Amino acid sequence: MPTLTANDLMTAKVHTVSRRDSLAEAYDLIGDRKIRHLPVVD
């Protein structure tokens, strides 16, 4: 059985929003990129 590494499963480009971004911007990014999780960075 082949061994998987984190690199095999990771997302290459993680999309984030700042806590200063509006909820509308975050919502648009989620919809446009069809993503389910959006980290908020400080």
Domain ranges of the chain: 6-41
- Give this prediction's pTM: 0.66
**How far is 4 from 7, CA to CA, in rounded Å?**
8
Cβ neighbours of residue 40 closer than 8 Å, sequence gap 6 or more:
16, 17, 18, 19, 26
Amino acid occupying residue 4: L
Query: What region, left, alpha or beta, does residue 34 occupy, with left being phi > 0 and alpha being psi -120 to 50 degrees?
Result: left
pLDDT value of residue 34: 94
Q: Where are the beta strands (DSSP E) in 1-42?
A: 17-18, 40-41
pLDDT tens digits for range 3-38: 999 999 888 889 999 999 999 999 999 999 999 999
